[in-house]
Structure 1
Amino acid sequence: MTFLTVDAGVELSARADRVVARFFLPGEGTPGGSSRTQAVLDRVLALPPEALAAAARRIRDRLVDPSPMADVLQNAAMVRLPDAPHLGADATVVIGAAFTAEYSIEGVSLCNPSTVEHPDQTGLMPGQLRVLLSLRSIGEGHLSSIQFCTAVIGPGLTWEFLRRQAPPCLPAVRHGEWTRDHFLRALEHNGGTDELVDAIGQTLPNRFRGQVIEQAIQALRAPLLQRRGARAQLDAMRIVADSAYDVIFPKESELSTRVLLPVADEERQGIEDLRLVQGLQADGARYGGTFTAYDGHAISSRLLTTTDFREFAVHRLTGPPAQTKGMALFPRQIGGEHLALSRGDGESLALTRSLDGLVWGAETILRTPTAAWEIVQIGNCGSPIETPQGWIVLTHGVGPLRVYSIGALLLDLEDPSRVIGVLPEPLIEPPQDSGGYVPNVVYSCGGLLHDGILWIPYGVDDQRIRVAHVNVQRLLSAMTAPEDAGARRT
């Protein structure tokens, strides 16, 4: 902490027992390996009835919760062949379990929260506020996913994390919705602009879901399909179409049980650092957020929107700022445009604009690394927070020894390209005895203002989550003019 901030005295730590049942193909993902689906099926079907019954009994004893067993039965349906013999209950359970792997979603760590007002504010005492947090979970193979939890602020300067429910659950997934214009822009962004794209584009309605692309491909004439490189282009088109998707959790599921795992191809190695914001989104949703997707080679920023945190729409963003990590949306439009913080050059805090919230334009640099504690790089720690004096932006700075600290600056309310205040020193620094999965790191994906107090939940060492608070007027008074703080704009 610094002289401005106060530690709230609460902590949220990872729990290795938060486990989900994921679909698993033996052999897939092994270097040089291939799927062994048929061989595994044959071996299960060859088991004597008594061995099959015993194996099924052991599986049922292990999976006492109904949610994992439902996943096992669903996985059995995914691998059964159309001409396979009728399977009894025991064979179905064993086949499903053979293609299921239990995965501890936060077996490595829990970190990098963001927070917004909870949609349900009933049943509270005066001065209290219920908040909702997104959490970055890291599990086996450094695979990141997104979870949620709830906390209550107040009365007074208190913060209480509410108990997270179990077991975690996964959503149903369906194709997302595209506009024709955005799909063609996404293909162009992905490097595809030729006769195949034109032929597909001419058949698309103004709005459609991803499965329509496969129908359009099947309707193409043979000469186009036989061109050199056509197969690779069509596969790339399918990947783009599938990158937009919706997820729906069961109505009976609790918020803290819901887990967002990677779905799209560009997310296959992890989804991380959701920066939530409350404010009407382009698709009419009440909440939005950007997160970083990683495919094992490249990163990109993607959009998530929701009204109730049970149904989510996930979509591709395009434009140069979307090819990096760490975009953060403003909670409202300014001058008829959507705005976001970004970091296209990898080291400077920037501003980008969009007419539709999906296609983002060139960046305006707001601040470059200057102070010693941010000399390596700077970026945002969540979406801007509106006050009468301007937009408060929590920042992260990386300094010597790769120490991550949290700072703050102030943007003009109606012209956020103007930096009007900078905090000269860090607001939150790692503790001296810092150690964990990634030492010397404090990092947040978004704070929240309540009754004149800025609350900042943040990750420590990519290992656990703590909370700090600061009086907003004291914070603003401690800021100096950009020139005095060494900031510069272009």
Structure 2
Amino acid sequence: MSIRRHEIMLQPESARVIIRPFIPSDADKITAIIRRTLALTDKEVTRQLKAVYQEFESRHYDVEALFMAHYRKIARHISSPSPLSRESELLLGALFSGEYSLESAALFNPSIVPHPDQSDVPAGGLRFIMSLRATGEGHISSIEFRSGMIDPGGGISFDPVSRFVAMPLVVPNPTYRKKSFVLKFHEMGFDNPFADAVMAPLGSEFSRSALNESVEAVGKGAHPETHELHRTLECIKWLADSNYELSFSSKLNVSERIIFPVSPNESNGIEDARFVCFKEDGGGASYCATYTAYNGKAILPQFIETRDFLNFRILTLNGTAVQNKGMALFPRTIDGRYAMLSRQDDENLFIMFSDNLHYWNDPQFLLGPAEVWESVKIGNCGSPIETEAGWLVITHGVGPMRKYCIGAVLLDLNDPTKVIGRLKKPLISPEGVEREGYVPNVVYSCGSLVHGDKLILPYAMSDKFTAIASVDLKELLAALL
């Protein structure tokens, strides 16, 4: 089979940094830092702040705004008889800030979709956006993006990558869909009068401010103060924090946008986003992704929606089948229902259908390990791809010595519960430098696309770097059939 490994390797770049809060958990330590800073003379404050700017201003777009944001996080600990100067506030903000290198450890597990803007693309070409899992200090993962072009001859190039990285605005007053919110809350075991009282005055869509007002009203109401009431209200807030909206400035290049963990359930990482261009029944298109939220103890599948890669909605998924890793959405509905691949048992591939994009139950077994190279477990490498021959699913299999290989299966176009083709040998196995990295002997992908007569397959090499292969589609389908 004709497989072309392109001479492209995306490597982690330690110089791409963001500024994060660096605030001790001990209140006494916070007040000690504040006390030492307020003891400085105005002249010394000016000198120290100038030194900070000289060292760090060129590494970020707007350090002043970030310093002020972090100052506001600790302002309640300040007890001063007179207002602080702006320079003192900024210096305090700098003292409670630190740089974080997003991809110092790895840049891997890619997925690829057509760019929403295809203007000025030559005939036969395609502009794309690639998502990547960036991992830094503490093995915290986030989502980065790259853009590039597939030229009419099949060559692949990437747009220049900016030195700068910027986090989005977390929309302060997002909206929620009541039906999904209530479903998730009941799944969590909070089907009680307190939850009903909070939700009753809210409309089918409601804002965070409206939710906060209802939570406060119930908390101050005639109910007796009980542990159940307190826990119910706290979990409503937790669920709201887990569903949020992000907005990037349109001035930022694609490579400058970073989705870093926001909610408590993803505090230790946003892992393995599987993006797909979803064709809506009405003719429009949106971009959706499933990803794994990790809080250091437990994982939780989550969902991303965007139309422009500038504005994102982050949502929890509902249903008894929302568990484990590896959920991958089909790019359109089938007989009017959404379809999803999954792996609830961490061994076999399952498929499930739903009338609600955010609610999943009743997974059906699809296929299990068959060959030795996949005999430990199998999973998907992203969303199924529609072809005339059927749904092409790129898979991964784990075999002896925890070696990960990439394979492929073909599902019936009208009834994707039927497997009509399957490779007996791996499509891609780790070779040479691909074997060396943070986790050796691994090739892995989170999403491919078909362009013309080629399958464009970006893949990670041993949880460290990212490469790209292209495969002759006709040859692949012939091998599957």
TM-score calculated relative to the size of structure 2: 0.94
Q: Does 1:56 align with 2:49?
A: yes
Q: CA separation in 2, counterparts of 1:378 and 1:464?
A: 22
221-230 vs 445-454, greater mean Cα deviation: 221-230
1:241 counterpart SS class? helix
Give runs of aligned pairs for residues 382-401 of structure 1, distance below 5 A.
Answer: 382-401=382-401
Q: CA separation in 2, counterparts of 1:69 and 1:234?
A: 36
| Deviation digits for residues 318-342 of structure 1 (CA, Å, limit 9, x no counterpart) | 1133222111111111111111111
342-351 vs 158-167, greater mean Cα deviation: 158-167
53-62 vs 101-110, greater mean Cα deviation: 53-62
Task: State the shift of 1:37 in Å.
Answer: 2.9
Q: CA separation in 1, counterparts of 2:390 and 2:100?
A: 44
Q: 1:34 to 1:140 in 2, by over 3 A?
A: farther
Q: Hey, what does 2:372 align to over in structure 1?
A: 372
Task: State the shift of 1:203 in Å.
Answer: 2.2
Q: CA separation in 1, counterparts of 2:250 and 2:159?
A: 20
Q: 1:16 to 1:56 in 2, by over 3 A?
A: same
Q: Hey, what does 1:183 align to over in structure 2?
A: 181
Among residues 39, 61, 69, which one is paired with 1:74 in the alignment? 69
Q: Does 1:477 align with 2:469?
A: no
1:470 counterpart SS class? strand
Q: Hey, what does 1:101 align to over in structure 2?
A: 98
Task: State the shift of 1:177 in Å.
Answer: 2.4
Q: Is the 8 A contact 1:131 1:151 kept in 2?
A: yes
- Number of residues paired by the alignment? 473
Q: CA separation in 1, counterparts of 2:305 and 2:27?
A: 36
Task: State the shift of 1:63 in Å.
Answer: 1.9
2:274 counterpart SS class? strand
188-197 vs 422-431, greater mean Cα deviation: 188-197
Task: State the shift of 1:378 in Å.
Answer: 0.7
Unaligned runs of 5+ in 2: none
Q: 1:273 to 1:282 in 2, by over 3 A?
A: farther
Give runs of aligned pairs for residues 60-459 of structure 1, distance below 5 A.
Answer: 60-65=53-58, 66-81=61-76, 84=80, 85-174=82-171, 175-220=173-218, 222-224=221-223, 226-280=225-279, 286-432=286-432, 434-459=435-460
The one-letter code matched in structure 2 to 1:159 is I
2:146 counterpart SS class? strand
Q: Is the 8 A contact 1:282 1:357 kept in 2?
A: no
Task: State the shift of 1:77 in Å.
Answer: 3.0
318-327 vs 128-137, greater mean Cα deviation: 318-327
Q: Is the 8 A contact 2:281 2:333 kept in 1?
A: no
Task: State the shift of 1:223 in Å.
Answer: 4.7
Q: Is the 8 A contact 1:225 1:231 kept in 2?
A: no
Q: CA separation in 1, counterparts of 2:98 and 2:281?
A: 38
Q: CA separation in 2, counterparts of 1:38 and 1:374?
A: 56
Q: Hey, what does 1:486 align to over in structure 2?
A: none
Task: State the shift of 1:222 in Å.
Answer: 4.2
2:339 counterpart SS class? strand
The one-letter code matched in structure 2 to 1:10 is I
Task: State the shift of 1:285 in Å.
Answer: 6.2
Q: Does 1:25 align with 2:28?
A: no
Q: Is the 8 A contact 1:281 1:305 kept in 2?
A: no
Q: CA separation in 1, counterparts of 2:37 and 2:411?
A: 63
Q: Hey, what does 1:487 align to over in structure 2?
A: none
Q: CA separation in 1, counterparts of 2:453 and 2:152?
A: 13
Q: 1:282 to 1:99 in 2, by over 3 A?
A: farther
Q: CA separation in 2, counterparts of 1:190 and 1:119?
A: 37
The one-letter code matched in structure 2 to 1:455 is I
195-204 vs 273-282, greater mean Cα deviation: 273-282
Q: CA separation in 2, counterparts of 1:86 and 1:115?
A: 51
| Deviation digits for residues 363-415 of structure 1 (CA, Å, limit 9, x no counterpart) | 01111122111111111100111111111000011111111111100111111
The one-letter code matched in structure 2 to 1:435 is E
1:137 counterpart SS class? strand
2:366 counterpart SS class? strand
TM-score calculated relative to the size of structure 1: 0.92
The one-letter code matched in structure 2 to 1:474 is E
Q: CA separation in 2, counterparts of 1:124 and 1:104?
A: 34
Task: State the shift of 1:190 in Å.
Answer: 1.6
Q: CA separation in 2, counterparts of 1:462 and 1:35?
A: 40
1:238 counterpart SS class? helix
Task: State the shift of 1:201 in Å.
Answer: 2.2
Q: CA separation in 1, counterparts of 2:407 and 2:320?
A: 26
Q: CA separation in 1, counterparts of 2:44 and 2:287?
A: 51
86-95 vs 263-272, greater mean Cα deviation: 86-95
Task: State the shift of 1:356 in Å.
Answer: 1.9
1:200 counterpart SS class? helix
The one-letter code matched in structure 2 to 1:366 is L
| Deviation digits for residues 280-310 of structure 1 (CA, Å, limit 9, x no counterpart) | 4699762111111011111111111111111
Q: Is the 8 A contact 1:172 1:247 kept in 2?
A: yes
Q: CA separation in 1, counterparts of 2:27 and 2:301?
A: 31
Q: CA separation in 2, counterparts of 1:118 and 1:427?
A: 26
The one-letter code matched in structure 1 to 2:415 is D
Q: CA separation in 1, counterparts of 2:131 and 2:442?
A: 19
169-178 vs 341-350, greater mean Cα deviation: 169-178
247-256 vs 424-433, greater mean Cα deviation: 424-433
Q: CA separation in 2, counterparts of 1:162 and 1:318?
A: 37
2:135 counterpart SS class? strand
Q: Is the 8 A contact 1:382 1:444 kept in 2?
A: yes
1:323 counterpart SS class? coil
2:417 counterpart SS class? coil
Identity of aligned residues (%): 37
